[in-house]
Amino acid sequence: TDVTALVEEIRKGEPLITAACVEHVILLVRRLQQKLGEKENHKFSLFKVLRTHILPLTNVAFNKSGSRFITGSYDRTCKLWDTASGEELRTLEGHKNVVYAIAFNNPYGDKIATGSFDKTCKLWSTETGKCYHTFRGHSAEIVCLSFNLQSTVVATGSMDTTAKLWDIEKGEEVATLRGHSAEIIALSFNTTGDKIITGSFDHTVAVWDVGTGRRLHTLIGHRAEISSAQFNWDCSLIVTGSMDKTCMLWNAVTGTHLATLAGHRDEILDVCFDCTGQRIATASADGSARVYDAQTKRCIAKLEGHGSEISKVCFNPKGNFILTASSDKTARLWDAATGHCLQILEGHTDEIFSCAFNYKGDRIITGN
């Protein structure tokens, strides 16, 4: 790309980029080009095996830099770890049942949210382990949660068919999102934080206005339970995965159906966009993952090799690698463009249900 021409094009639609900023933006774009052009021969090796939960894990999550990570467990606790040393920094105790959903308020990482089968969500300080708030109001288990990127609101999804929005500072409920007829299994904020989507076992995905709690659209088309739903980075598209073996692409502004991405022979268990929103990855119970082009809607790569279902899929931040976690006890690293398997990550003795990259893309965490 001609950098000067690109920046001039960006400038036309962005009044904040004044003439005084142009040279700096050109420099930043050149640095980005350089970074994207770097060849990577990074091999991942087993660094640490951490066992201290007395019952199985439910989820794992990195902070943005990857310097810390958290684990949720059936033992009713969430543990905070130092990535480099593998040292357990603290145990967040207080829930009366399984800690199922966990998250850092990335990119800040100074707070942790935990959602539990005890019907509550707790907000903690990363630094001190102090519990700031206990959010009460759901009448059944909390199974998913998410912070908005602005770190002002945390959302929780529950088996009680509702999602709730909570004010992080005040510790109060902001809104209850009612309308689904079955449990909410997935939720995701858009980048700007003004909309949230909820995916349900009632086969639909709802798009909500965060400020008012009003439902804007219902995405109807799947013929079975929703397993995963996500906005792309610029908030223009929504991707949904379902137990009906398909993935669907939707216009996030109008709620209209754009495409059905078919090809899998079994349930789709996870879907995700790369950071630019140009590619979509799907993970299926048929043991394969696929990569689709978001513009052409075509399948551009098939990731085949796992011996059993793939429950989790994610792109690295740069978007050139894909990580999959499978019940065959391995995670695999793939070339996103070709579908070629670059590495098999072994060592677990049971199915892997969770995996993540850190922001730099040089560390991977897997949980079983």
Complete domains list, the chain, with CATH: 263-367 (2.40.128.630)
Spatial CB neighbours of 96, under 8 Å, sequence gap ≥ 6? 76, 116, 118
Instruction: Determine the Cα–Cα distance for residues 90 and 60; give it in Å rounded to an integer.
Output: 15
pLDDT tens digits for 112-142? Answer: 999 999 999 999 999 999 999 999 999 999 9
Instruction: Determine the Cα–Cα distance for residues 245 and 183; give it in Å rounded to an integer.
Output: 20
Q: 189 with 210: CB under 8 angstroms?
A: yes
What is the predicted pLDDT for the residue at 33? Answer: 83
Looking at the predicted structure, is the pLDDT value of residue 362 above 90?
A: no
Q: Which of 34-38, 91-95, 223-227, 259-263 has the lowest mean pLDDT?
A: 34-38
| CB count in 10 Å sphere of residue 346 | 11
Nearest to 339 by CA among 308, 312, 299: 299
Residue 43's Cβ-side half-sphere holds a number of Cα atoms within 13 Å equal to 4
Residue 109's Cβ-side half-sphere holds a number of Cα atoms within 13 Å equal to 15
Mean pLDDT of the chain, nearest integer: 94
Question: 107 preceded by cis ω (within 30°)?
Answer: yes
For 153-170, what is the mean pLDDT?
98
Instruction: Determine the Cα–Cα distance for residues 135 and 181; give it in Å rounded to an integer.
Output: 23
| Structure letter (DSSP) for residue 19 | G
Q: 165 with 194: CB under 8 angstroms?
A: no
Looking at the predicted structure, is the pLDDT value of residue 367 above 70?
A: yes
Q: Which of 149-153, 208-212, 285-289, 358-362 has the lowest mean pLDDT?
A: 358-362
pLDDT tens digits for 171-180? Answer: 999 999 999 9
| Structure letter (DSSP) for residue 6 | H
The whole-model pTM stands at 0.89
Q: 138 with 145: CB under 8 angstroms?
A: no
What is the predicted pLDDT for the residue at 41? Answer: 66
What is the predicted pLDDT for the residue at 287? Answer: 97
Looking at the predicted structure, is the pLDDT value of residue 1 above 90?
A: no
